[in-house]
Structure 1
Amino acid sequence: MTPYRGRFAPSPTGPLHFGSLVSALASWLDARANQGAWLVRIEDIDAPRTVPGAAEDILATLERFGMRADEPPVWQSQPAAQALYQRAFEQLQQAGLVYPCGCTRKEIADSLLQAHARNTTLAYPGTCRDGLHGKPARAWRLRVPDGDSAIVTFQDRWQGVQTQNLATEVGDFVLKRADQQWAYQLAVVMDDAQAGITHIVRGADLLDSTARQIYLQQCFGIATPAYMHVPVVVNEHGEKLSKQNGATALDPARPLAALIAAARHLGLDSGGSPPATLEDFYAAAIAAWAKKTAMNA
């Protein structure tokens, strides 16, 4: 069997908060329960949203909370990663799977509004599939198949069987943005393949992206990892807790209290009295995670 390799991939848009801690803990526990390697990747591909110093702060917080990567962290902004994305993009171009798109966000929104009025698909309507019609190229999209070939089904280790029709629910999706930044979908697929990731444990907010990533893996002939999407933390308004809606930074002086709360959010019950040290917490949490995920299998 291929040795387990998992990862935590935070975006450096600010300090680590409780919602991110839940995802980090879940991925760390899954790796440890399976005697696997746990890696950290800084997803700083969205340069306009990257906050200087945030990546270093995230890595220091993980260290303080007792989650140490088994290999040096990598950054998406590194030249080697950028070259990897470019080679992948060119491979898709040569296969005839990529085309330029001249649509603005407003034009796409107007098209979707009209489609909704006709009770048809809300996916990208394929406006530029057959040419730019005089518009300048802004972004580059991946052509998804039609019919039954567009249906992607996978078994999520937490959420169960998932099915998405890329043609009707997503449409041709962006690989390179209008600002010339690489899109998340392409970057994450190539990063995981480059690192040999076998298991992906992350928040359920990314569940909708998984079918697109599996389709990209199929385009490249890359093995599909095992996926697990854990429940996200929400605020009092029912919105995913994030830096954008005021999530506060973790207190590095009180890691144990935050970890116990994160484990509780994941439904882990270690039993007995609360752990007094990080070592006690992780010993109990790994055992509880192994039991819980075995039940979900």
Structure 2
Amino acid sequence: MTAKTQPVFRFAPSPNGHLHLGHAYSALLTNKIARHFGGKTLLRIEDIDQARCTPELVTQMLSDLEWIGFEFEGTPEIQSDHFERYRAAADTLKQRDLIYPCFCSRKDIRENADGQTDPDGAPIYPGTCRHLSSSEVEEKLAQNIPHSWRLDMKKALVETGALTWRELQADLETISTIEADPMSWGDVILVRKDTPTSYHLSVVLDDAAQQITHITRGKDLYAATSIHRVLQKLFALPEPLYHHHDLIRDEAAEKLSKSKKAQSLKELREQGWSAHQVRAAIGLD
């Protein structure tokens, strides 16, 4: 198998908190599936949230990944090194009139939403700023009012048409065709108020730049694939093969998360756990 045709996988954690068992599962499962297909795994550090992502957390993350036995080729890709890539992509969408500035606060959105929620449970943006006149937009921009940039989803779908993605099932043989449902998200943010990009924009551009062919990630990102397929189509990028794995859950059947202070790999190490115990706990020993 040549390097050109070798499947390329990636693990892409965010250093905005310590890694937990859920991250360990995703990282090691990615390694396992990559080996199954004779592929290689790359590591990407998704640190666009500069307020919460710290060098200390990156150092701990790399140490934890080495400890559990995660293997990757090359050097880690650092998202914050590529802000210009994201700015350039956003500029092309502005020129194509596919994104618009949004000056609304979260409170504004809650008060004006009609009760509909996106797949993550957040209120769907009601499109308030999409209806601003060009003069109103220019005035607000001139006043330096903080704003994000949102994708005009209806306009984008006129360009892309109906979309699907290919989902690799747990048997690692069956590939299902899944109908994308981007409208369930409404006009998503592609450029945040505090940074020149967003998770959705960065992840799509970086997967293409790193020539990722297979994406293994948790089922909590299953629905977001609809957004990613829109962006891949708008930028004429290759479509990877997706596999969304089950999530590691706590005793209350809630998914492990940094926001809910899930016990970290760092804490487990300090308590005397071995890497073998971690792998056994997640069923990947």
For normalisation by structure 1, the TM-score amounts to: 0.79
- What residue number does 2:215 align with? 200
Please give the alpha-carbon distance, in whole angstroms, between the structure 2 residues aligned to 1:236 and 1:112.
Answer: 34
Please give the alpha-carbon distance, in whole angstroms, between the structure 1 residues aligned to 2:199 and 2:62.
Answer: 21
- What residue number does 1:286 align with? none
TM-aligned CA deviation for residue 115 of structure 1: 6.0
In the TM superposition, structure 1's runs of 4+ consecutive aligned residues that sit over 6 Å from their partners are: none
- What residue number does 1:140 align with? 149
- What residue number does 1:158 align with? 169
CA contact under 8 A between 1:150 and 1:166: conserved in structure 2?
no
- What residue number does 1:22 align with? 25
Query: Where does structure 2 lack aligned partners over 5 or more consecutive residues?
Result: 118-122, 171-175
TM-aligned CA deviation for residue 130 of structure 1: 3.0
Query: Where does structure 1 lack aligned partners over 5 or more consecutive residues?
Result: 117-121, 265-280, 282-297
Please give the alpha-carbon distance, in whole angstroms, between the structure 2 residues aligned to 1:82 and 1:113.
Answer: 34
Please give the alpha-carbon distance, in whole angstroms, between the structure 1 residues aligned to 2:283 and 2:6.
Answer: 25
Please give the alpha-carbon distance, in whole angstroms, between the structure 2 residues aligned to 1:34 and 1:238.
Answer: 31
Q: How many residues align?
A: 257
TM-aligned CA deviation for residue 113 of structure 1: 3.8
User: CA-to-partner distance for each residue in 1:124-153, whole Å, 9 max, x for gaps?
Assistant: 222222326565461111111367866433
SS, match of residue 110 in structure 2: helix
Residue identity over aligned pairs, in percent, reads: 36
SS, match of residue 193 in structure 2: coil
Equivalent residues in 2 for 1:99-110 (5 A)? 99-110=100-111
Equivalent residues in 2 for 1:129-278 (5 A)? 129-131=130-132, 133=136, 136=145, 138-145=147-154, 151-158=162-169, 160-167=176-183, 169-250=184-265, 251-252=268-269, 254-263=274-283
- What's the RMSD between the two structures over aligned residues? 2.3
User: CA-to-partner distance for each residue in 1:85-143, whole Å, 9 max, x for gaps?
Assistant: 11111121222211111111111112224668xxxxx6322222232656546111111
CA contact under 8 A between 1:144 and 1:150: conserved in structure 2?
no
Of the structure 1 ranges 248-257 and 157-166, higher mean CA displacement relative to structure 2 is found in 157-166
Please give the alpha-carbon distance, in whole angstroms, between the structure 2 residues aligned to 1:220 and 1:242.
Answer: 32
CA contact under 8 A between 2:24 and 2:68: conserved in structure 1?
no
- What residue number does 2:120 align with? none
The one-letter amino acid paired with 2:47 is: D
Equivalent residues in 2 for 1:45-60 (5 A)? 45-60=48-63
TM-aligned CA deviation for residue 181 of structure 1: 4.5
| 2:38 maps to 1:71 | no
TM-aligned CA deviation for residue 235 of structure 1: 2.0
CA contact under 8 A between 2:34 and 2:40: conserved in structure 1?
yes
Structure 1 residue aligned with 2:10, among 2, 7, 12? 7
CA contact under 8 A between 2:8 and 2:213: conserved in structure 1?
yes
The one-letter amino acid paired with 1:8 is: F
Of the structure 1 ranges 232-241 and 154-163, higher mean CA displacement relative to structure 2 is found in 154-163
SS, match of residue 145 in structure 1: helix
TM-aligned CA deviation for residue 75 of structure 1: 1.0
